[in-house]
Structure 1
């Protein structure tokens, strides 16, 4: 199955929605430490929703729910943890190694713990956390695989010696043989309704 005769025209990350228990600390870290400008805010009785720019048209946004106890956790990037079933860490892109070193120095200057630069071959990274315990990475592409045709046989970029079947199909024919279908997650909506919470959730 080819990618598409009419491409989707993705333009990057619009926003990734995360959760904070302390929006003030979140603004002070994301805007003040990381220099990811606060560019928009929404507030309704149930929540605040603040957006931080991480590139043209791209943002990371946080919800702060009113009167809601949060069962939060913190974990390092890439470390298995049963409570982190769907989200591991967020990696933000920088243009080159100099910018990566400057971000590492900026984090240290603000009293934030951060790793040394890690060489992953096709990318270089540093790792740190935000005040919510969200594992963060800042990276630059040493070999940028985006914006060009993919060579699935290039071992510099495709280093898994035993890839999943879909990657084998891409390597052999340039397309996947079939796709998968998904469904909306209604279970939690029903749980909330039983607790007397009604959401406007269009189907």
Structure 2
């Protein structure tokens, strides 16, 4: 597919912002166990915000709020849970099978529970949790679909026998017939108004 002037050039995830009730334990796990280097910290009276390096330019970041009790929970990856309506799990990318086994051994050496390697066809994974109960996965692509044109008819990668209409449009027409609009949540708009900023709707 030819590049177009409006093509977006993503560089990965700048940061995924999660929440912790114990930043010290979070640093000890993410930096110490997972080897995701702590690369930056922010702090204001109401929160701490720490960033962990997972790839060049890509970080996982945590907020620890001051004087804010949290109703925490833990859930396994891929299992629906009403209290986790928008987030299921985070998968971190590894280069190959050997690296996946090394990460599994590293987790075990630190006393962390971890699954055996699960073969999902185009990717292989292990599953574990962080001290906050966040479901984590480490994966590597056995058939990497990124960084190249997508073949929506390739059943090795597009295996849903009854895909949603958008996938059928991509497969049959090479484009989406329409997109969807979104709105800011009211809290964001109220915060902006307090700063004297109004948005056109």
Q: Distance in 2 between matches of 1:155 and 1:20?
A: 39
Between the aligned partners of 1:64 and 1:77, the Cα distance in structure 2 is 23
Q: Which residue of 2 aligns with 1:115?
A: 115
Distance change >3 Å, CA 4–CA 84, structure 1 → 2 = farther
Instruction: State the Cα RMSD in Å.
Output: 2.0
Pairwise CA distance, 1:63: 0.2
CA shift in 2, pair 1:44/1:86, >3 Å: same
Paired residue for 1:23?
23
Distance 1:172 1:68 in 2: 50
In structure 1, C-alpha distance between the alignment counterparts of 2:195 and 2:62, rounded to whole Å: 20
SS at match of 2:12: coil
What stretches of structure 1 move > 3 A for 4+ residues in a row? 187-190, 198-203
Aligned to 2:131: 131
Give the corresponding residue for 1:90: 90
- Please report how far the alpha carbon of residue 48 of structure 1 lies from its aligned counterpart in structure 2 after TM superposition: 0.2
> Of the two structures, which has the highest relative contact order with CA contacts closer than 8 Å and spacing of 6 or more?
1
Give distance in 2, aligned partners of 1:187 and 1:37. Answer: 33
When residues 157 and 36 of structure 1 are mapped into structure 2, their CA distance, relative to the original with a 3 A threshold, is same
Runs of at least 5 residues in structure 1 that lack an aligned partner in the other structure: none
Provide the residue aligned with 2:63 in structure 1. 63
Q: Which residue of structure 2 aligns with residue 79 of structure 1?
A: 79
- Distance 1:127-1:66 versus aligned 2 partners, 3 A rule: same
- The normalised TM-score by structure 1 is 0.92
The alignment status of 1:37 with 2:37, answered yes or no, reads yes
1:51 matched to which residue of 2?
A: 51
Where do 5+ consecutive residues of structure 2 fail to align? none
Q: TM-score, with normalisation over the residues of structure 2?
A: 0.93
Residues 201 and 77 of structure 1, relative CA distance in 2, 3 Å threshold: farther
1-structure distance, mates of 2:177, 2:130: 40
- 2:109 and 2:123 map into 1 onto residues whose CA distance is 24
